[in-house]
Structure 1
Amino acid sequence: MEKVGAAEPIAKVSSIFIYPVKSCRGISVSQAPLTPTVLKAPGMDVLKVSLSAPREIADGVSMWEWSGSALDEGNAASKWFSDYIGKPSRLVRFNTVSETRPVEPEYAPGYKTMFSNMYPYMLISQGSMDALNQLLTEPIPINRFRPNILVDGCEPFSEDLWTEIKIDKLTFLGVKLCSRCKVPTINQDTGIAGPEPNNTLKKIRSDTVLRPTRKQQGKVYFGQNLVCKSFLTGQKGNVVTVGDRVYVLNKVSSTDEAAA
């Protein structure tokens, strides 16, 4: 582990994306509060979801290894999603009052998330995206990878090595390289899947290439999973803004040393 310090920024935040509903379209915003409303789809009326907590409880909700209860957003939201998707659906909200979903304790003990796949934040650099697109016959947009934070100004894949960074006044831990499933192969506008970019990622971003001395898991990696260290210290004013400078405080020397 190399302690770098924060003398000069290594990059800046170029885009921020939020995902109000898991697996639905991301929304680009100029700033976002880091806290644990309106939905639309082609041919559908706008669904307005109140920000106040629902009263109904839905039991038997599961997300990977976690299962528990959630807050049910009601029949209007249920009908909207059921009509659009074509099968019975309920829109639910994570119940932070009664439920806890910790991240993997071996990587970030004490931290938790809600309905995100594994971790609450994921960061990718524009340099990494540009390097990948140079290898693809048809370049793809960043929305294929569904990050929360896109940074620019650093070398391609340098985020692989970051174990602690500071964005403005907030400190994040880079806890684990982000292993990719088939979602990046799906066009986010059409829903149609293809072989790329995963075929190319297997050639340049696999265990064999990045982590040759580690146990091979047959995975490919793109991006860095983060938790916000400031949450455990009780820091307030948790807002990330486009243009914020990124400082690297600690990093490893190679991807072979990175957690994954």
Structure 2
Amino acid sequence: MSASLTLTGLFLYPVKSLGGFAVAEADVTARGLQHDRRWLLVDERNRFMTQRQLPELALLSVAPAYNGFLITHRQRPDLLPLFIPFEATPERTLFVTIWDDIAWAWRGTPQADEWMTEALGRSCRLVYMSDMVRRDVEPEHNPEGQLVSFADGYPFLMIGEAALADLNTRLAQPVLMNRFRPNLVFGGGTPYEDDHWENFQIGGVSFRAVRGCGRCVLTTIDQQSAIKNPVGDPLRTLATYRKVENSTLFGQNVTGPGNGRLRVGDALTVLSHK
């Protein structure tokens, strides 16, 4: 068992693929951290939009506000900040597609759609996942029947600081943790030791490390400038030593208990290994 493992970072991304922000504490819900990835941008066909296709989404920064958050465009000071509440109202609904899932969602306001359309230069809508929607974690890894928000596939993504430090020793240009968009960051231990974890607790709240997270082109996008790395780093370098079958792994996909509260500084205790 590793000694002196600590939760050193908690991050929320209220809108999938937009900027996130750090918090000192957060509630755990059935779909992940409260308010994480409950909002989603969709195109004219109601299909999800991410930085994979639109790197400029990285230019939309998100900051906490009272009962919601503010979205600003890093390069468009002419666009006034857009306030979005943490929860939408069920006035209008539509079906949206995210990966192979189809889920119904509540529409945001026309004003939010107009702001996003102007900011991105293409028609889009902002939609919200209600608590009444059931979107399951991938069945073959989900005996507990865990739910997920509009995140790619799991309610939590966890990365160790030691893993990022190890990666950065291999890169010509070090990268920040925000390239990998984790919810949970822990300090202490050795690089990638969480590959072998199964059950663990953070401050007494129980979690399960299900499997490594396969990374994509999004990791090559600078989250401040939205510019892609010309040689494909850090993904290219990760693939030289973190490739398993067809996936390049960095971080752990994690499921949780559906309730509890986490605080930065909580102790992390590993209970069992794979």
TM-score, with normalisation over the residues of structure 1?
Answer: 0.85
What displacement does 1:105 show? 1.3
Name the residue aligned to 1:106: 140
The partner residue of 1:64 within 91, 99, 103 is 99
Pick closer, same or farther for the CA change 1:201–1:52 going to 2, 3 Å: closer
The answer as to 2:254 corresponding to 1:219 is no
Bigger mean CA offset, 21-30 vs 41-50: 41-50
Q: Aligned residue pairs: how many?
A: 230
Q: Distance in 2 between matches of 1:188 and 1:174?
A: 26
* Alignment equivalent of 1:28, drawn from 19, 22, 35: 22
Query: CA contact under 8 A between 1:18 and 1:29: conserved in structure 2?
Result: yes
Tell whether the 8 Å contact from 1:179 to 1:219 is kept in structure 2 after alignment. yes
1:41 to 39, 52, 73: 73
Q: Paired residue for 1:88?
A: 123
The alignment partner of 1:111 has SS state of coil
Contact 1:57 1:69 in 2 (8 A): no
1:256 aligned residue: none
Deviations 1:101-138 (A, max 9, x none): 10011112210101000101010000000000000011
Aligned counterparts of 1:153 and 1:51: Cα–Cα separation in 2? 33
* Aligned partner letter, 2:73: A
Match of 1:201 among 219, 229, 238: 238
**Is 1:250 the equivalent of 2:272?**
yes
Structure 2 SS opposite 1:132: helix
Q: How far apart are the structure 1 equivalents of 2:87 and 2:20?
A: 22
Distance of 1:52 and 1:148 partners within structure 2: 20
Contact 2:9/2:184 (8 A) holds in 1? yes
- The answer to whether the Cα contact below 8 Å between 1:15 and 1:28 also exists between their aligned partners in 2 is yes
Q: Deviation of residue 9 (structure 1)?
A: 4.8
Distance 2:85 2:180 in 1: 28
Structure 1 residue 79 displacement after superposition: 0.8
Structure 2 letter corresponding to 1:61:
V
Name the structure 2 match of 1:182.
217
State the one-letter code of the partner of 1:201: L
Larger radius of gyration: 1
What is the CA–CA distance in structure 1 between the aligned matches of 2:101 and 2:142, rounded to whole Å?
A: 17
- CA shift, 1:61, in A, is 0.5
- In structure 2, what is the Cα distance between the partners aligned to 1:188 and 1:50? 23
Q: Which residue of 2 aligns with 1:75?
A: 110
CA distance in structure 2 between the partners assigned to 1:57 and 1:9 by the alignment = 50
Gaps of 5+ in 2: 32-67
Distance 1:189 1:102, change over 3 A: same
Identity within the alignment, %: 30
Measured in 2, the distance between the counterparts of 1:171 and 1:10 equals 17
Gaps of 5+ in 1: 208-215, 253-260
Against the structure 1 CA distance between its residues 205 and 52, is the aligned structure 2 distance closer, same or farther, given a 3 Å change threshold?
A: closer
Tell me how far 1:52 sits from its aligned partner.
Answer: 4.6
Cα pair 2:157 2:251 within 8 Å, conserved: yes
> Is contact 2:88-2:107 (8 Å) kept?
no
Calculate the TM-score normalised by the size of structure 2.
0.80
1:154 aligns with 2:180: no
Q: Distance in 2 between matches of 1:85 and 1:53?
A: 22
Indicate the SS of the match to 2:140. coil
1:58, distance to aligned residue in structure 2 (A): 3.3
Deviation (angstroms), 1:10: 4.3
